[in-house]
Amino acid sequence: MVFVASTEVEPANLADWPPPPGRATLAWRDLADGFARVWMWSALALQDIRLRYRGSMLGPFWLTISTLVMVVGMGVIYAQLFHQEPSTYLPFLTVGLIVWQLLNGMILEGCDTFLREAAVIQQVPIPFSIHVYRNVCRNFIVLAHNLVIVPLGLAIFSIPITWEVLAIIPGLVLIAINGVWISILLGMVSTRFRDVPPIVASFLQVLFFLTPIIWPPELLGQWHPIATFNPFFAAIDVVRAPLLGVPTAPSSWIMLVGVTVLGCGIAFAAFARFRSRIAYWI
């Protein structure tokens, strides 16, 4: 009986290397790692505010004073134009302008989220999301300074403060989440296409007058429901209505939550797809 040796060679036992993480995993890690470094982006946001008002005696409160002057000036005139009672119109206008400044700041500065930090992105390996959280935090610090006006106005016009005012907390949380996805999406698009920031700025100027900020939506009469389906009005309404002690529009919370979910989905998909190209676009 003849035995023939086999010529087949057994493959070497190689270590089973795990597959590389996918784009979605890397994007999620970036968002999670960036959020975990709250000490970093909050300190950077505070530094931005200090540098912006360096050498000023009042610092960020100059913005508070300018907002107060604008509210008083516009309130006296537009209350007459719209035939509104000043005691109800001035608080309406004050909170509307303050929240609009928050939204406007997050969107406009969101366009420059990555362009503004080009040198850091090219030299320091930190999560991209840190710049996003920094932008949102910086604008909320400005909001905190402007909100000083609100208790003063509520006291002057004898508007009672009830437990319903706590409803602004989830509203501000949703606005912050929207600020994150807007900064990510507009930040990437503006990095790739430099014409986007001026287009967005022009669009916001038009949207300011189309949104019920300086005018009550009831003035539209039968067209009133159309104004309430404006996402910007929804974001303002969920903060303004609890502070003024009036019910929010029926569609405000639905609209704001829907925009938040949809925007987060689109922004995350784009971030996962184009995250690795941000440094090259800069």
* Residue 269: predicted pLDDT: 94
Give 259-267 contacts, CB < 8 A, sequence gap 24+: 259/178, 259/231, 259/234, 260/174, 260/177, 260/178, 260/181, 263/178, 263/181, 263/182, 263/185, 264/177, 264/181, 266/181, 266/185, 267/180, 267/181, 267/182, 267/184, 267/185
For residue 183, what are its two tokens?
Answer: 């900064």
* pLDDT, tens only, 1-38: 444 444 454 554 545 666 777 778 888 999 999 999 99
Q: How confident is residue 161, by pLDDT bands cut at 50, 70 and 90?
A: confident
Contacts of 158-162 with C-beta under 8 Å, sequence gap 24+, read: 159/91, 159/244, 159/245, 160/245, 161/245, 162/245
**192-244: pLDDT as tens digits:** 998 899 999 999 999 998 888 888 888 887 777 787 888 999 999 999 999 88
Residues 175-197: tens digit of each pLDDT: 999 999 999 999 999 999 988 99
Q: What is the predicted pLDDT for the residue at 18?
A: 66
How does pLDDT run across 96-130, given as a tens digit for each residue?
Answer: 999 999 999 999 999 999 988 888 888 888 889 99
Q: What is the pLDDT of residue 181?
A: 95
The pair of structure tokens assigned to 146 is 């402007």
- For residue 8, the model assigns a pLDDT of 52
Higher pLDDT pick, 22 / 135: 135
Q: Which residue has the higher pLDDT, 269 or 68?
A: 269
- Who has greater pLDDT, 58 or 38? 38
Averaged over 157-173, what is the pLDDT?
84
pLDDT tens digits for 240-279? 999 888 888 888 999 999 999 999 999 999 999 998 888 8
- pLDDT value, residue 98: 92
What's the pLDDT at 29? Answer: 92
